[in-house]
């Protein structure tokens, strides 16, 4: 499909969406293009620290099993 055809279809469908749906589509396009400047990358040092802290929590028994999470969600 050519970009002209894609644009034409997009222009036809976009007005059919609610404002909220249009905003969601815009955010999705921005994420594909990595335009959103609100997202800041963390440093490798901070990432590794967060991983180490998470491993420590699991080793200390501070976690929720998948089964327990499903039970909680079903309430």
> DSSP character for 16?
G
Tokens, residue 28 = 């999705």
pLDDT over 90 percentage in the chain = 53
Q: What is the DSSP letter of 17?
A: S
DSSP at 43: P
For 2, phi and psi rounded to 5 degrees? -80, 160
pLDDT reported for residue 73: 86
Q: What is the per-residue pLDDT across 17-57, written as a single tens digit (0 to 9) for each?
A: 999 999 999 988 888 887 656 667 789 999 999 999 999 99
């Amino acid at each position: 499909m050519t970009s002209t055809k894609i644009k034409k279809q997009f222009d036809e469908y976009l007005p059919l969406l609610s404002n909220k749906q249009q905003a969601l589509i815009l955010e999705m396009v921005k994420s594909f293009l990595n335009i959103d400047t609100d997202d800041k990358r963390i440093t490798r040092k901070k990432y590794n620290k967060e991983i180490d802290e998470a491993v420590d929590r699991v080793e200390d028994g501070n976690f929720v099993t998948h089964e327990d999470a499903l039970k909680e969600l079903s309430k």
